[in-house]
Structure 1
Amino acid sequence: MPTIISHAAVPLAIGIGLGRGRIPSRLLLAGVVAAIAPDLDVVAFKLGIAYAEAFGHRGASHSLLFALLLAAGASAAAPLLRTSRRTSFFFILAAAVSHPLLDMLTNGGLGVALFWPVSDLRYFAPWQVIEVSPLSLRRVFSAQGLAVMRSELAWVWAPCAVAAAIGVLIRRDIPSAGRGDRA
């Protein structure tokens, strides 16, 4: 997996690119939480659930179903997030789906159960360009952790920064592009 911090890059880039008029700060924060939430499955290790099981790491919580459930919950909470149900649903869906998609780009682990519960198969992307993050906090602050951070800067943060900058430039050039969606 990329480090838990790098999972926040996608919703941050979308939020910056679209601007506060479309992505209010509460929704942006919810998006960051949704992008990180699938990795709460590491608690399974403490509960004796094996990595390869359906509720192990990169299992059910990394599925499209999990992302849809988070998005549906955010849609129901749209008034609290100060946005429309539609905006809330699709922003949180994008944030949550970004997590397993980034994990599929890593060069380690057992893959991602993207289609759980329909299938227990775990998938990797054809290009595994992101250095897998160690699960141990001690190893994050090692030579391996430094390699992971360099990899994430190149393959996660840099593309997200470019996408956000393009969004900002488009909003500046097209006045209606920054208007909010509060229906």
Structure 2
Amino acid sequence: MPSIITHAAVPLALWCAADRGRIPPRLLAAGVIAAMLPDADVLAFALHIPYADAFGHRGASHSLLSACVLAAFAALWCGLRQPRRASTVQAAVFVFVCAASHPLLDAMTSGGLGVALAWPWSEHRFFAPWRPIRVSPFAPQFFSARGLATLLSELRWVWLPLATAVVAWKLIHPAPAVPWEPS
């Protein structure tokens, strides 16, 4: 898995690429949480649930169904706060993309058992055909040479491409001009 920090890269990049105010701070926070939440399944280790189990690490919480459930909660939350259909759909899509980015990034790592994208219809664990991101060590070894190598790998294969995409997007779609008003 990429480090928990790097899972926040996708919602942050989407926020940076969006027009100012398009993604409100609470929705950004929901997206960051949705992008990180699948790794709460590491608690399965403490509960003695095997890694390869459907509810083990990179199992059910890393499925597209899980991303859909988080998106539905976001839509419900947004619908209760702002009953406009557009904002509700925007919240659901944003949270779905953020949550789905987690297993897709994990599938691009160099280790582990893959991700259960199709759970509950299949317990098969998937990997991307291209796996350039170093797998992150768990907490005790994170602040080690291997942890540093992982962070450098994530910088190269996640943060820099996303930053480049945001800059390119901003160059192609500049912010709307604010009318000038004389003082």
Give the distance between the partners of 2:23 and 2:173, measured in 1 at CA. 13
Match for 1:122 among 109, 121, 125? 125
Question: Where in structure 2 are the equivalents of 1:145-164 lying within 5 Å?
Answer: 145-164=147-166
Give the distance between the partners of 2:20 and 2:78, measured in 1 at CA. 15
Match for 2:104 among 97, 101, 124? 101
What is aligned with 1:142? 144
Tell me which of the two structures has the higher relative contact order, counting C-alpha pairs closer than 8 angstroms and 6 or more residues apart.
Answer: 1
CA contact (8 A) 1:26 1:81 kept: no
Question: Where in structure 2 are the equivalents of 1:21-60 lying within 5 Å?
Answer: 21-60=21-60
Deviation at 1:166, TM superposition (A): 2.7
- Higher Rg: 2
What TM-score do the two structures reach when normalised by structure 2? 0.90
Give the distance between the partners of 2:74 and 2:19, measured in 1 at CA. 19
Long gaps (5+) in structure 1:
177-183
Counterpart of 2:145, as a letter, is A
Long gaps (5+) in structure 2:
178-183
Counterpart of 1:45, as a letter, is F
Question: Where in structure 2 are the equivalents of 1:64-83 lying within 5 Å?
Answer: 64-79=64-79
Give the distance between the partners of 1:71 and 1:131, measured in 2 at CA. 28
Give the distance between the partners of 1:11 and 1:80, measured in 2 at CA. 22
Counterpart of 1:42, as a letter, is V
Q: Which stretch has the larger CA shift, 70-79 or 157-166?
A: 157-166
- Provide the aligned C-alpha RMSD in A: 1.6
Deviations 1:76-104 (A, max 9, x none): 11157767111001000000000000000
Count of residue pairs the alignment pairs up: 174
What TM-score do the two structures reach when normalised by structure 1? 0.90
Give the distance between the partners of 1:134 and 1:81, measured in 2 at CA. 39
Deviations 1:44-100 (A, max 9, x none): 111110100000000000000000000000001115776711100100000000000
